[in-house]
Amino acid sequence: MKRMLADLHLHSTASDGKLKPSDVIRHAHESGLKAVSLTDHDTITGLKPARELAGELGLEFINGVELSTFMNGRECHILGYGFDDDNPNINKLFGSQLSQRRTRAEAMIHELNKLGMEITFDEVWAEAVNAPISRVHIARVLMNKGYCATQNEVFFRFLGNRGPAYVPFELVAADDGIEAIHEAGGVAVLAHPSNYYLYEDLKKLMDWGIDGFEYIHPSHNYTQQMKYFNHARNYDLLVTGGSDFHGYLNKDYNNLGMVAVDMQHFHHLCEFISVHSESTNAQLT
Ligand code: AMP
Ligand code: MN
Ligand code: MN
Ligand code: MN
């Protein structure tokens, strides 16, 4: 019997992906997936077109976002699902992440200029169109200008977390990010935890209300998958997963329809959200 799969981690041109939101949905549908979430970095501008096309194609869709947050001096990616995309607070948070990313891009471009690369903010801005500016957009400009051949080379030589032109940005604290997702009626899931977190960190995230762990991700080996699957089961939390797809032309991750989770996890996520939203509403009345 063919497995029914959900991909709950996808990127589009609304952030640093290569394909438009509607094209991501079209490809997801063609690859045989039954449910998806679009989880762009720090923005929800792709949700509406993605949701509309998914509805037309009969593909189940849930609102998503991948929030860049800060914890223990490091970046911590938190996936938000099922939130109200009109919620004013969460939109305010996306607005501040957007402007922080812009300031940080200017600083990284300055560092690249000092290293002798001729690259301007306007060029990067044009590459990003209306997306929150990512290192990926800067990388594309460097590649177009012939400074590097691949995105990996850009990260390896200049923009990786220890690279000479890397500048961190002022991110929302992880606990505040989780709270904002909850306040908008959604659930918060720790993205691709890999081996980045000690048990104390996971405990802290659970104290702050994290609702689940992304156990299926292209960067996870089988041991890591089982670690987070068992951890979630022990604490009665959710597990999710997906391909972290960024587009066919990008070597980043390219596993649409292959790295995904069984539909039961999608249904469990939806149930969890409806219970969570009811309790949020109950608190309001
Ligand atoms: P930013 O959100 O601006 O910090 O950029 C991070 C994005 O760059 C990630 O979401 C990935 O899409 C991409 N990325 C991160 N590390 C690498 C790497 N080593 N090689 C290529 N792309 C990367
Ligand atoms: Mn990305
Ligand atoms: Mn991530
Ligand atoms: Mn991602």
**Residue 95: per-residue pLDDT:** 97
**Residue 168: per-residue pLDDT:** 87
Compute the 3-state secondary structure of the chain and give helix, strand, coil in percent, each to the nearest 5: 45, 15, 40
- Indicate which ligand has the atom closest to the C-alpha of 245: 4
Please tell me the residue having the least CA distance from ligand 1 atom 9. 136
- Going from the Cα of 5 to the center of ligand 2, the distance in angstroms, rounded, reads 22
For the chain, give every residue range classified as CATH 1.10.150.650. Answer: 94-159
CATH code assigned to 94-159: 1.10.150.650
**Strands annotated E in 13-168:** 35-38, 60-71, 74-81
DSSP assignment, residue 14? T
**Residue 141: per-residue pLDDT:** 98
- Going from the Cα of 11 to the center of ligand 2, the distance in angstroms, rounded, reads 7
**Residue 285: per-residue pLDDT:** 46
For the chain, give every residue range classified as CATH 3.20.20.140. Answer: 5-86+171-284
pTM of the model: 0.96
CATH topology of domain 5-86+171-284: TIM Barrel (3.20.20)
Q: Of 135, 156, 167, 217, which is best to mutate to test ligand 1, by the most ligand atoms within 8 angstroms of its C-beta?
A: 135
- Name the helix (H) or strand (E) containing 214: strand 212-216
190 strand-pairing partners: 78, 213
- 119-175 residue pLDDT tens: 999 999 999 999 999 999 999 999 999 999 999 999 999 999 999 999 988 899 999
Which residues, 6 or more positions from 175, have their beta carbon under 8 angstroms from its beta carbon? 208
Q: Is the CB of 252 under 6 A from ligand 1?
A: yes
- What is the Cα–Cα distance from 7 to 260, expressed in whole angstroms? 5
Tokens read off for 73: 């001096």
Q: Of 251, 252, 253, 255, which is best to mutate to test ligand 1, by the most ligand atoms within 8 angstroms of its C-beta?
A: 252
**Residue 42: per-residue pLDDT:** 98
- Indicate which ligand has the atom closest to the C-alpha of 154: 1
- What is the Cα–Cα distance from 284 to 279, expressed in whole angstroms? 9
**Residue 251: per-residue pLDDT:** 54
**Residue 249: per-residue pLDDT:** 55
Per the listing, tokens 């609304």 go with: 14
- Going from the Cα of 255 to the center of ligand 3, the distance in angstroms, rounded, reads 15
DSSP assignment, residue 250? -
The stretches in the chain having pLDDT less than 50 are: 285
